[in-house]
Amino acid sequence: MFTCDWARALTQYDCRSLTAIDGQPCLEIGTPFSLPDGSAINLYLKPEAQFVRISDNADTLFQLGGMGIDVWNGHTRAALTSLLSKHRTQVAQNGELFLLAPASQSAQGFAHAIAAILAICSWASDKLDEPQADFDLVAEIEPFIIARDPSAPFKRHFRVKGVSRADHVFDFRHGHDIIDVIPPHAGATGAAMRKAGDVQNGPFSEVFQPLFIVDDRKEHDRAFNEIEILGSITRAMPLTRLLGPLLH
The confidence band for 59, taking pLDDT boundaries of 50, 70 and 90, is very high
Q: Does residue 143 sit within a domain?
A: no
Residues 9 and 93 in one domain: yes
- For the cut 70, the answer to whether the pLDDT of residue 246 exceeds it is no
Highest mean pLDDT among 22-26, 210-214, 244-248 belongs to 210-214
Q: Is the dihedral of CA 126, 128, 134, 139 positive or negative?
A: negative
Burial of 175 (0-12, 13-18, 19+ CB in 10 A): middle
| pLDDT tens digit sequence for 156-165 | 999 999 999 9
C-alpha–C-alpha distance, residues 101 and 246, integer Å: 11
pTM: 0.88
Report pLDDT for 248.
45
- Strand-pairing partners, residue 179, are 172, 211
Count CB atoms within 10 A of the CB of residue 42: 18
Judge if 16 and 124 occupy the same domain: yes
Tell me which of 71 and 233 has the higher pLDDT: 233
- Distance, CA of 51 to CA of 146 (rounded, Å): 19
Residue 155: count other Cβ atoms within 10 Å of its Cβ. 12
Looking at the structure, do residues 16 and 132 belong to the same domain, yes or no? yes
Based on its alpha-carbon atoms, the radius of gyration of the chain, rounded to whole angstroms, reads 20
CA distance linking residue 113 with residue 132, whole number of Å: 19
Please report the pLDDT score of residue 135 as a whole number. 63
Q: Provide the β-strand partners of residue 34.
A: 40
Asked if pLDDT for residue 86 goes beyond 60, the answer is yes
Domain containing residue 210: CATH number: 3.40.1350.10
Q: Which residue has the higher pLDDT, 195 or 76?
A: 195
Tell me what the mean pLDDT of segment 77-82 comes to. Answer: 91
Q: How many whole angstroms separate alpha carbon 127 and alpha carbon 86?
A: 19
Indicate whether 133 and 156 sit together in one domain: no
Same domain assignment for residues 176 and 126: no
Q: For the chain, what is the domain count? A: 2
Distance CA 180, CA 178 (A): 7
| Residue 229 lies in domain | 152-243
**Are 175 and 216 contained in the same domain?**
yes
109-144: pLDDT as tens digits: 999 999 999 999 989 988 887 665 556 889 999 999
> What was the pLDDT predicted at 213?
97
pLDDT score at 83: 92
Is 184 a domain residue? yes
Mean pLDDT for the chain?
92
Question: Do 132 and 17 reside in the same domain of the chain?
Answer: yes
Together in a domain, 192 and 122? no
pLDDT tens digits along 187-221: 999 999 999 999 999 999 999 999 999 999 889 99
pLDDT for 245: 61
Query: How far is the C-alpha of 230 from the C-alpha of 248, rounded, in Å?
Result: 32
- Sign of the Cα pseudo-torsion (142, 145, 147, 152, in order): negative
Does residue 72 carry a pLDDT above 80?
yes
